[in-house]
Amino acid sequence: MREHDARRRDRLPLSGVLVADFGRVLAAPYATMLLADLGADVIKVEHPEGGDDTRAWGPPYAHGEATYYLSVNRNKRSLALDLRDLDGRRRAAELVRRADVLFENFRPGTMAKYGLDHARARELNPRLVYCSVTGFGAGEGAALPGYDLLIQAVGGLMSVTGPRAGEPVKTGVAVVDVLTGLHAAVGVLAALRHRDATGEGQHVQVDLLSCLLSSMVNQAAAHTLAGQVPGILGNRHPSIAPYEVFRAKDRPFVLAVGNDRQFAALCQGLQAPDLAADPRFTTNADRVAHVDELARRIGALLAERTASAWFDLLAPLGVPCGPVNDLAQAFELAERLGLGPRATLTGPDGEPMDVVANPIGLSATPPRHDRRPPRLGEHTDDLTAWLDA
């Protein structure tokens, strides 16, 4: 490592925090990558045969590895350990003894089989922050498998997602895993704050179902507070209008009008004073009540121009709107806005490797993007020598 890089890493907010990462697939690895970006030394513990399941989740592939694996494992070191082996368990226990944080997302009971459950880990290291990620918790749901699609189904997300009633659709990414990873990272940071104040570690527990229910925010609150059971509205919003996808002359176009002022600006841009004057559309509540007629009239107007033309006209008026981009167009937009959505690492053969940049902006200690995702067991020799010393 260059001396400059070493000095920069020492200045990161989580420098000096050692994370023993027994997680795999997505939720836990995403959380530990966020911590690694912020300076934590994350040691990814993997089985010597195959390693993390996502190493085989392709196509697509890049730099000889599945892009799924590459997406959530930068800035880590890989330690290949067979926990069924006595030496593997001994080294794992020593890693736990030295670590500040442990992540695991095995089914409840698996870590206990290897002598690495929270009770045993606390004996080894009372200062340890131990994070368990499960699908349905460690109680009655302990035996249930925690796959993202399954959680989206039984957790209610698919019941409000889809083109129309009776046609539930999953999201285009494993969003429950990502949301759970974010909740896990926040929980760990809170526990580290407590540990630094008291000297005591604790057990952080997050499960996919609970994280999804929390993340459904207004839809969940409609049920808990008002007794409603929301259903599928397609691309519409249950409480705001116009807030949906329309068809411009050439491609889909979104309006996300959140208040009466924005609706007045929309009517101005559409050159539709009759729309603004219609008592059925005066307030947001009125527009929600008459959303079908509102959508019909707006849709007829938007069909007259291209999505780009409408964006150029309406956006300067303060109307939240935009075309439905594919990912290439989305990255192009972020780059045009100066958001820096990409970061370039050095690949395994010295070639550049583009990754998605960490989105957190810190003025004094910005996240790092300086270590490519490790090959399976790449750092085993150095780490086992350190653990055996």
Amino acid found at 116: L
**Tokens 């001994």, located at residue:** 90
* Rounded Cα distance, 132 and 365, in Å: 28
* Rounded Cα distance, 228 and 110, in Å: 39
**Cβ neighbours, 10 Å, residue 222:** 17
Amino acid found at 218: N
Q: Which of 52, 177, 354, 388 is catalytic?
A: 177
* Rounded Cα distance, 180 and 204, in Å: 12
Question: Cβ contacts of residue 35 below 8 Å, gap of 6+?
Answer: 14, 17, 19, 42, 101, 185, 188
82 is catalytic: no
- In terms of Cβ atoms closer than 10 Å to its own Cβ (0-12, 13-18, 19+), residue 329 is exposed
Give yes or no for a cis peptide into 341 (omega within 30° of 0). no
Size of the chain in residues: 389
- Any idea which residues carry the catalytic annotation? 177
